[in-house]
Amino acid sequence: MLQEADKLGCRQFVTPADVVSGNPKLNLAFVANLFNTYPCLHKPDNNDIDLNLLEGESKEERTFRNWMNSLGVNPYINHLYSDLADALVIFQLYEMIRVPVNWNHVNKPPYPALGGNMKKIENCNYAVELGKNEAKFSLVGIAGQDLNEGNATLTLALVWQLMRRYTLKVLSDLGEGEKVSDDIIIKWVNQTLKSANKSTSISSFKDKSISTSLPVLDLIDAIAPNAVRPEMIKREHLTDEDKLNNAKYAISVARKIGARIYALPDDLVEVKPKMVMTVFACLMGKGLNRLK
């Protein structure tokens, strides 16, 4: 057996004596190495599998995670719930929506081996307190321990209100203190497109043409000339795959020019009005250099 394994270049870890005696750890290492080298598995035919969904992350959770990471929070959010367990990122988000945080009340890592989780819970308690008393969020039935333990429903209730408040702040910054309306954003988008001699326009944030991402790409090109590569865009006879590729490219380029976009490509393809509004609002802020 080992001679045959040697022909495959997989004879590591075991001797004949190990196999005969049944050494479990070494035999496992041998089999694992054989599998890693020659798994003999076929590549899946479906290339459209969303790995995030396989890992159990919903689109809503991915949107929240993208939003946080687009703001440059530290640490980077890889997993929404476990990475919020000490509330440090939540405190950073509070500051971004102008809710004051007393950092003297915040426990910071590294946390001690004994009692470390209690320090995290204290942070979460303070985060809930700030949400109720300073941000005036509706956090009925939410305790710090819920955030620490990653209770999905209750954590999302807080995070959704944080993102909503941030969006209102974006609109307020655009209006220089006054919340800017949808009509003002749409008017600016169309004027900017027209000034750049673009043929695209939008009638509302529900406009079906947004599913192609062409108005977004043209707006980016108007704001930042030469940022968009024409050969990367499909403009005619678009399939669903073409639309998704356009959307991915649009969001990627928008972020590269400094627009803090946290919508997903699917939000453009499916024309989700609220998320579409945030895309155009962030691009308007970039175009006017008003967003802080």
Q: Summarize pLDDT for 138-166 with one digit per residue, the tens.
A: 999 999 999 999 999 999 999 999 998 99
Instruction: Give the model's pLDDT for residue 40.
Output: 74
Structure tokens at 136: 């005036």
Q: What domain count does the chain have?
A: 3
Please tell me the predicted confidence (pLDDT) of residue 3: 81
Domain that holds residue 205: 182-288
Q: How many CB atoms lie within 10 A of CB 112?
A: 10
DSSP secondary-structure letter at 43? P
- The pLDDT value recorded for residue 59 is 86
In-domain check, residue 50: no
pLDDT band at residue 174 using 50, 70 and 90 as cut-offs: confident
The pLDDT assigned to 239 comes to 97
Give dist(CA 43, CA 117) in Å, integer. Answer: 42
CB atoms within 10 A of CB 133: 11
Higher-pLDDT residue of 134, 171: 134
Mean pLDDT value across residues 208-232? 97
What is the percent of the chain with per-residue pLDDT over 90, rounded to a whole number? 70
C-alpha distance from residue 256 to each of 23, 45, 224, 235, 280 (Å): 54, 32, 10, 22, 15
Same domain, 83 and 26: no
pTM above 0.85, yes or no: no
Q: Which residue has the higher pLDDT, 107 or 15?
A: 107
Last residue of a domain, one of 174, 204, 223: 174
Asked which of 174, 195, 218 is the last residue of a domain, the reply is 174
Domain CATH number, residue 229: 1.10.418.10
Domain boundary among 121, 152, 174: 174
